[in-house]
Amino acid sequence: MQRANLSTVSEFVFVGLSDAPEMRLLLFVLFLLIYLATMAGNVTLLVAIRTDSRLHSPMYFFLSNLSLLDLLCPTITVPKMLGALLLEHKEISFSGCLFQHFSLIAVVGTEIFLLTAMAYDRYVAVCHPLRYPSVVSPKLCARLAAGTWAAGLLNSLLHTSLVFTLSFCGPNKLQQYYCDVPPVLALSCSSTRSRELVILAVAGVLGSSACVVTVVSYIYILLEVLSRDSPGVWHKAFSTCGSHLAVVCLFYGTTICTYVRPSFTYSPQRDRVVSMLYGMLTPLLNPIIYSLRNKEVKCALRRVIGRV
């Protein structure tokens, strides 16, 4: 589809999925099972945190927000992908692509800031256990959660306005299964260098700031554990922070590979694999990681499943 300018572009076409009928059916079943497992795992975790009074603490308040984000992330992209695989409806309107892009970047940004807030929560819990109830109060938790969501939305608004005010002259085929920054930028017929620099600068400042706070928090945690030199303290700190640290490494690894690089390094085949890891497997693995590493969560989940 050849278009003259932004105002005449009406739709994009996803071509990141297999054209072989037998592969489409196989991929549909596989992605549907992953999506349903992700929904079931995160909903069960949310119900367990909500219904079990022993999980009404700041740590699990932030974890419930993370589970909500892990519900939203695949829901933004997977249903459209499943429709394309089963019904071959690979087109998405310009406004639909814009909304999908905005929603996805908002969720990604919010999760970055939320993981940072969770790192601060773990720092206070390990390094200042006696002051923990007064420092990490319900009011502070509510403010941190609201701040993470607001920062994610504002960051997404900036990215979306920079990307979707470009000119698109054709072709309109997205080498991806959802509307993401690199494949959309690759379709623009206007110069994207200045906007890429702004996007990279904003993402670099926000991402590096969040990463620094997380790393500094864990450095203080490590120094605190080393200063006590007790096997019991090591075990408690690892059980308290191990799940969050694993989730942070998984999230930052896939996010950096997807977004923090210039568009000339964009590779459709490689990026589809990386985005699959981020968009589908990370939300699936997060509740599993927290369930396997946390005895309180495992007990709460057993009670929820028993009632069901």
pLDDT in 10s for each residue of the chain, 308 residues: 444 344 466 788 888 666 666 778 888 888 899 999 999 989 988 988 888 888 888 988 999 999 999 999 999 989 988 888 887 778 888 889 999 999 999 998 899 899 999 999 989 988 888 899 999 999 999 999 999 999 999 999 999 999 888 888 777 888 778 888 888 888 888 787 888 888 888 888 888 888 899 889 989 888 888 887 666 666 666 766 777 787 888 777 766 666 655 555 556 666 666 667 667 888 888 888 877 667 777 777 777 777 76
Q: Is residue 3 part of a domain?
A: no
Q: Is residue 47 part of a domain?
A: yes
What's the predicted TM-score (pTM) here?
Answer: 0.85
The total number of structural domains in the chain stands at 1
Half-sphere exposure of 81 (CA within 13 A, CB side): 28
Q: pLDDT tens-digit profile of 13-29?
A: 888 666 666 778 888 88
Q: Is residue 6 part of a domain?
A: no
Q: Which residues contact 237 (CB under 8 A, 6 or more apart)?
A: 126, 221, 224, 225
Q: Is residue 146 part of a domain?
A: yes
End-to-end CA distance of the chain: 51
Q: Is residue 158 part of a domain?
A: yes
Q: Look at the chain and count its residues.
A: 308
Range of the domain at 281: 12-306
| Phi and psi angles of residue 174, each rounded to the nearest 5 degrees, phi first | -85, 125
Q: Is residue 278 part of a domain?
A: yes
CATH code where residue 29 lies: 1.20.1070.10
Residues 34, 75: contact at Cβ < 8 Å?
no
Q: Is residue 7 part of a domain?
A: no
Query: CA 190 to CA 3: how far, in whole Å?
Result: 13
Q: pLDDT tens-digit profile of 102-159?
A: 999 999 889 989 999 999 998 998 888 889 999 999 999 999 999 999 999 999 999 9
Q: Is residue 220 part of a domain?
A: yes
